[in-house]
């Protein structure tokens, strides 16, 4: 079966750095997305990785290792507004998007 694993919940301090991990087992791979979702709102696109390595975009970076079936989202200089769920999603060989259940990130002052 197809599976994406992320921690259910993480807590971090304002101004700090946090890394949210995602591991996947899918039938084929055509890219990995990270989305941010605030409570009661729709997901918004953060990043896309299809090749191994690190993609940096401002305070957010995303890393991919296809051989390990592993990705992480790195958030720097955390702000209170970063409190949200972060969803990892993988496109499989049939171009179907497989979603993780999301990691709820709680930022404390």
Among 23, 31, 55, 74, binds other proteins (CB under 8 A): 31
Q: Does 42 bind other proteins (CB under 8 A)?
A: yes
Q: Looking at the DSSP assignment, which residues form a beta bridge with residue 19?
A: 74
Least Å distance, CB 45 to other proteins, is: 5
Q: Does 43 bind other proteins (CB under 8 A)?
A: yes
State CA 13 to chain mean position distance.
19
Q: Does 102 bind other proteins (CB under 8 A)?
A: yes
Mask: binding to other proteins, 3-22, rule CB under 8 A, as x and -? -x------------------
Q: Does 57 bind other proteins (CB under 8 A)?
A: no
In this structure, are residues 73 and 62 in contact, taking their beta carbons and an 8 Å threshold? yes
Among 16, 28, 99, 106, binds other proteins (CB under 8 A): 99
Binding region for other proteins (CB under 8 A): 4, 30-31, 33, 40-45, 48, 87, 91, 95-97, 99-102, 104
């Amino acid at each position: 079966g197809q599976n994406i694993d992320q921690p259910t919940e993480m807590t971090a301090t304002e101004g700090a750095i946090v890394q949210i991990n995602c591991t996947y087992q899918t039938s084929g791979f055509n890219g990995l997305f990270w989305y941010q979702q605030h409570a009661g709102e729709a997901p918004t696109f953060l990043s896309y990785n299809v090749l191994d390595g690190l993609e940096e975009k401002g305070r957010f970076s995303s890393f991919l290792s296809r051989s390990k079936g592993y990705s992480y989202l790195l958030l720097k200089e955390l702000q209170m507004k970063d409190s949200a769920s972060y969803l990892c999603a993988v496109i499989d060989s049939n171009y179907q998007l497989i979603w993780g259940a999301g990691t709820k990130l709680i930022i404390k002052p």
